[in-house]
Amino acid sequence: MGRAKITVVGAGNVGGTVAQRLAEKNCYDLVLVDIVEGVPQGKALDLMQAGPIYGYDSRVVGSNGYAETAGSAVVVITSGVPRKPGMSRDELLATNARIVQGVVREIAARSPEAILLMVTNPLDAMAHVAHRVSGFPKARVLGMAGVLDSARLRAFVAAELGVSVQSVQAMVLGGHGDTMVPLLRYTTVEGRPIEDWLPKERLEALVQRTREGGAEIVGLLKTGSAYYAPSAAVVEMVEAILKDQKKVLPCAARCDGEYGIRGLFVGVPVKVGRCGAEAIIEYALSPAERTALAASAAAVKELCDIVDRLP
Confirm or reject binding of residue 175 to ligand APR (CB under 6 A). Answer: no
What whole-number distance in Å separates Cα of residue 162 and Cα of residue 183? 21
Confirm or reject binding of residue 263 to ligand APR (CB under 6 A). Answer: no
190: left (phi over 0), alpha (psi -120 to 50) or beta: left
Confirm or reject binding of residue 119 to ligand APR (CB under 6 A). Answer: yes
Looking at the Cβ atoms of 103 and 198, the one nearer to ligand APR is 103
Active-site residue among 5, 43, 83, 176? 176
Rule CB under 6 A: choose which of 58, 79, 210, 296 binds ligand APR: 79
Rule CB under 6 A: choose which of 58, 111, 188, 225 binds ligand APR: 225
Q: Is 176 a catalytic residue?
A: yes
Write the CB contacts of 16 (distance below 8 Å, at least 6 apart in sequence). 32, 43
121 with 83: CB under 8 angstroms?
yes
What whole-number distance in Å separates Cα of residue 260 and Cα of residue 292? 12
Strands 28-33 and 115-118: unpaired
Q: What minimum distance in Å lies between the beta carbon of 290 and ligand APR?
A: 28
Confirm or reject binding of residue 99 to ligand APR (CB under 6 A). Answer: yes
What is the C-alpha radius of gyration for the chain, rounded to an integer number of angstroms? 19
Instruction: Work out the number of other CB atoms within 10 angstroms of the CB of residue 57.
Output: 12
Rule CB under 6 A: choose which of 10, 146, 182, 273 binds ligand APR: 10
57 with 23: CB under 8 angstroms?
no
Confirm or reject binding of residue 259 to ligand APR (CB under 6 A). Answer: no
What whole-number distance in Å separates Cα of residue 163 and Cα of residue 22? 28
Rule CB under 6 A: choose which of 6, 8, 11, 266 binds ligand APR: 11
244: left (phi over 0), alpha (psi -120 to 50) or beta: left
Looking at the Cβ atoms of 145 and 183, the one nearer to ligand APR is 145
Confirm or reject binding of residue 35 to ligand APR (CB under 6 A). Answer: yes
Confirm or reject binding of residue 60 to ligand APR (CB under 6 A). Answer: no
Confirm or reject binding of residue 231 to ligand APR (CB under 6 A). Answer: no
Q: Select from 27-35, 263-271, 274-282, 297-305 the region that touches ligand APR (CB under 6 A).
A: 27-35
Rule CB under 6 A: choose which of 29, 34, 124, 149 binds ligand APR: 34
Q: How many CA atoms lie within 13 A of 230 on its CB side?
A: 27
Confirm or reject binding of residue 72 to ligand APR (CB under 6 A). Answer: no
Q: Select from 30-38, 55-63, 191-199, 255-263 the region that touches ligand APR (CB under 6 A).
A: 30-38
Looking at the Cβ atoms of 48 and 226, the one nearer to ligand APR is 226
Q: Given CA atoms 74, 27, 277, 44 in this order, what sign does their dihedral have?
A: negative
Looking at the Cβ atoms of 103 and 293, the one nearer to ligand APR is 103
Q: What minimum distance in Å lies between the beta carbon of 209 and ligand APR?
A: 18
246: left (phi over 0), alpha (psi -120 to 50) or beta: left
Q: What minimum distance in Å lies between the beta carbon of 224 and ligand APR?
A: 5
Tell me whether the omega of the peptide bond preceding residue 122 falls within 30 degrees of 0, making it cis.
Answer: yes
One-letter amino acid of 220: L
Which residues are marked as active site? 176
**Which residues here bind ligand APR, judged by CB under 6 A?**
9-15, 33-36, 78-80, 82-83, 96, 99, 102-103, 119-121, 224-225, 227, 230
